[in-house]
């Protein structure tokens, strides 16, 4: 979902409200499973904000992310910000800081009717056709 995200901390320290509101970030918010645990409560989630081109992160990844609060206009997500300090195949080093995001979803209407109708996967369409065929018999 596309969101406007406000970072509530810098290097783990809380920022004043005036500073937070000055720098909004926009992109596609993804809240995904990063590591599967023994049971659902042990799963590790990550949150990312992807640029509209889909090729880069807008802000550093939020690891061990959890949804803290859902309220009127937004979602509060907390976790650990991962800032890579070296780029290499082995021995990747990073800095880790507490971070919280306040995310406000953006409503985006479909511009193209063909795009709106193509939201189902081919597997879902095939399943629906088989189901309808069985129910007719």
Residues 98-117 have pLDDT tens digits of 999 999 998 766 555 545 55
pLDDT of residue 90: 74
Weakest-pLDDT range from 23-32, 49-58, 117-126? 117-126
Average pLDDT over residues 10-20: 89
Q: How confident is the model at residue 92 (pLDDT cuts 50, 70, 90)?
A: confident
Does residue 45 contact residue 66 with C-beta atoms inside 8 Å? Answer: yes
Does residue 65 contact residue 46 with C-beta atoms inside 8 Å? Answer: yes
Please enumerate in sequence order all residues whose Cβ is within 8 A of that of 9, keeping only pairs 6 or more positions apart, or say none.
15, 81, 97, 98, 99, 100
């Amino acid at each position: 979902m596309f969101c406007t995200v406000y970072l509530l901390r810098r290097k783990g320290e809380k920022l004043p409200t005036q500073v937070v509101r000055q720098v909004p970030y926009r992109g596609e918010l993804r809240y995904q499973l990063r590591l599967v645990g023994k049971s659902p409560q042990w799963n590790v989630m990550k949150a990312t904000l992807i640029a509209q081109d889909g090729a880069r992160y807008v802000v550093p990844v939020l690891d061990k992310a959890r949804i803290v609060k859902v309220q009127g206009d937004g979602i509060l997500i907390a976790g650990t910000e991962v800032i890579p300090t070296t780029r290499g195949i082995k021995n990747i080093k990073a800095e880790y800081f507490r971070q919280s995001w306040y995310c406000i979803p953006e409503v985006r209407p479909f511009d193209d009717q063909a795009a709106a109708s193509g939201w189902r996967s081919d597997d879902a369409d095939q399943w629906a056709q088989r189901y309808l065929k069985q129910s007719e018999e």
